Chains A and B, each alone.
Chain A
């Protein structure tokens, strides 16, 4: 039995003036899942997130969080959400600790122990009593995540969470997000315009372009592509080219000292065999995986920003 989705977007639309910014988004995010919300800048990611958390009015459609509509039952819906929208902006004149206390007072049942726990989760123990205005972007990002986690939300929305983090910090956040999803069954929505930063932490990725969802793919499906590009280093090249065209009906291209062709993985042994049997010396076969990035660019088109 499939669990009830943690968050449902139902034909979500947003009009600003006469222009439709978001053109009907429908998808579910399940508990324990990390969902990547990917799109170029200006595609409508932040607008969608703002509607998910009630900062912007929904023109049409709805967002349902754990069974409660953000439109008609705001308080019950938002209770389950922790979020960072755009940059994690904090009160610069207060310490990180006081910033957290401030948000803790707005929700019920958050103990001092919980705040301490969250602080250590994001690794801010040392700096927590310094003024937030002195924090680096990476530290603010951590504090932002801390405030989003205070009330143990079922849905965690992080807008560009890796912004401003160094590679080490990105890895930590990634591991942390994964463990939240896997151990605490939190549904995590991570937005980004850089696929390389989120592909390693997401289970599914939804790609948005100009306010429309152009693709939703599970990450496994995206990486285990049907066809790989392979480079074959062989001598003589002409003979190899001819063999492949005639015996295997393939269409390789010759480039410098290599033959390039796109084939299914299971075809590779037969290609090598064919070449060897045809008296061609094979010096190497290299498989170049098509990355998610290529796929992403394919899907949204190179020049996505209108």
Chain B
């Protein structure tokens, strides 16, 4: 088994020996810093300081919003709803801090999907492009093992970059906005209602769900890479599907089978926040669909990698 870890280690060495991998982390760091600086300077972050008189402050905010709005608008205004939640439950609003910054930055996982797709698309295809595959596959190691080492390396990259996003966001957030304790209770919107949830739980939930999406896209790109041995094609295909995913579902929405489309199921957030995309879909249904797709992707990757000849150019 140590043999397998050596193979994964090899893949990681090759991955991090290339500048492009470091550039990805650089871009991610730059964007996180950029978001923090923007938040601090332009001030789209709720900078209100709440003192002991936070109840009056909230009432006043509500009054300001209500001014000049119709009654219906007032009832649906998210700011008022949120403030009312604080008032109703007697919770003092927390100042914006590193924890909230981290939770908000989960949106950057779209960028991680992109990076993971690039890595997954290249990890097989590059060996063919460089010609190194011929030296790689003439070792006393089964092709299946090499394939899974490569796949494990992609997952490890996805996981590493997700952890990087989390930790770097937290540190940046802590520097720019400060920290409210080790695990503060955050107020978040959940299906048109507000609830309180611990920061760690919220982070685990949202980042965990993103990881599922990440793994699915990476596995898809990995499969294309294995079948066509061409990283450009794999990147293009996977990114196109990632971007067009929602349009594809929209386009086929009226059909009964639309719920079996991969992209209708990758966003598991729909079962925790908001409503399912298509009526009748449940969390276990989506997990089932994802598993079926996953198995298909893996089997195809395996078949093409292990059964096909490594022919000349």
| Cβ-defined contact, A86 with B134, below 8 A | yes
Known contacts A46-B312, A93-B18, A98-B13; A75/B130 CB under 8 A: no
Binds B, one of A102-110, A225-233, A254-262, A280-288: A102-110
Q: Does B137 interact with chain A (Cβ within 8 Å)?
A: yes
Of the candidates B6, B10, B140, B311, the one having the most CB atoms from chain A within 10 angstroms of its own CB is B140
- Contact check: which of A85, A89, A91, A106 meets B14 at CB < 8 Å? A91
Residue from B3, B19, B309 having most chain A Cβ neighbours under 10 A: B309
Find out whether the CB atom of A107 lies under 8 angstroms from the CB atom of B139. Answer: yes
A1-9, A48-56, A215-223, A265-273: which one contacts chain B?
A: A48-56
Asked whether A202 is an interface residue with its Cβ less than 8 Å from the other chain, the reply is no
Q: Which of B295-313 contact A (CB under 8 A)?
A: 309-312
The answer, yes or no, to whether B17 is at the interface (CB within 8 Å) is yes
Interface residue? B138 (CB, 8 A): yes
Q: Does B264 contact A (CB under 8 A)?
A: no
User: Can you add 9 more A-B contacts, CB < 8 Å, to A55-B134, A92-B130?
Assistant: A50-B311, A55-B309, A78-B140, A84-B135, A85-B135, A90-B132, A93-B19, A102-B13, A105-B6
Q: Name B313's closest neighbour in chain A (CB-CB).
A: A86
Interface: B141 (CB within 8 A): yes
* Interface presence of B221 (CB below 8 A): no
For window 181-196 of B, CB contacts with A under 8 Å fall at none
Task: Report 19 cross-chain contacts, Cβ distance below 8 Å, ordered by A residue.
Answer: A50-B310, A54-B137, A57-B309, A75-B141, A75-B142, A78-B138, A78-B139, A84-B135, A86-B134, A86-B312, A89-B130, A90-B135, A91-B17, A91-B130, A92-B130, A93-B17, A106-B141, A108-B3, A144-B135
Which A residues lie within 8 Å of B310 (CB)? Answer: 50, 55-56
- B interface residues, how many (CB within 8 angstroms): 26
Interface residues in A97-149 (C-beta closer than 8 Å to B): 98, 102-103, 105-108, 144, 147
Interface residues of B (CB under 8 A from A): 3, 6-7, 9-10, 13-14, 17-19, 130-132, 134-142, 309-312
Q: A50-B310, A86-B131 are in contact. Are A98 and B17 (CB under 8 A)?
A: yes
Which chain B positions have C-beta within 8 A of A56? 309-311
Q: How far is the CB of B119 from chain A (nearest CB, A)?
A: 15
CA distance A51 to B259 in the complex (A): 46
Residues of B within 8 A of A292 (CB): none
Q: Decide yes or no: A105 and B10 within 8 Å by CB, A55-B137, A78-B139, A93-B18 being known contacts.
A: yes
Residues of A within 8 A of B7 (CB): 105-106
A69-94 with Cβ < 8 A to chain B? 74-76, 78-79, 81, 83-94
CB distance from B185 to the nearest CB of A (A): 48
Q: Is the CB of A50 within 8 A of B6?
A: no
Q: How far is the CA of A107 from the CA of B138 in the complex (A)?
A: 11
Docked Cα-Cα span, A76 to B141, in Å, equals 10
Contacts of A46 in B (CB 8 A): 312
Between A57, A74, A94, A106, the greatest number of chain B beta carbons within 10 A of the residue's beta carbon is seen for: A106
CB distance from B140 to the nearest CB of A (A): 4
Instruction: Give every chain A residue within 8 A of B6 (Cβ-Cβ).
Output: 105-106
Whole-angstrom distance between the alpha carbons of A94 and B135 in the complex? 15
Residue of A55, A94, A108 touching B17 (CB-CB under 8 A): A94
Cβ of B123 to closest chain A Cβ, rounded Å: 13
Inter-chain CA distance A103–B137, complex, in Å, is 10
Q: Which residues of A contact B13 (CB under 8 A)?
A: 94, 98, 102
Of the candidates A84, A87, A106, which one forms a contact with B10 in the assembled complex, judged by CB atoms under 8 Å apart? Answer: A106
Task: Specify which chain B residues have a CB less than 8 angstroms from the CB of A85 in the assembled complex.
Answer: 134-135, 138
CB neighbours of B309 from chain A (8 A): 50, 55-57
Q: Which residue of A lies closest to B132 (CB)?
A: A89
Chain A residues closer than 8 Å to B312, beta-carbon distance:
46-47, 50, 86
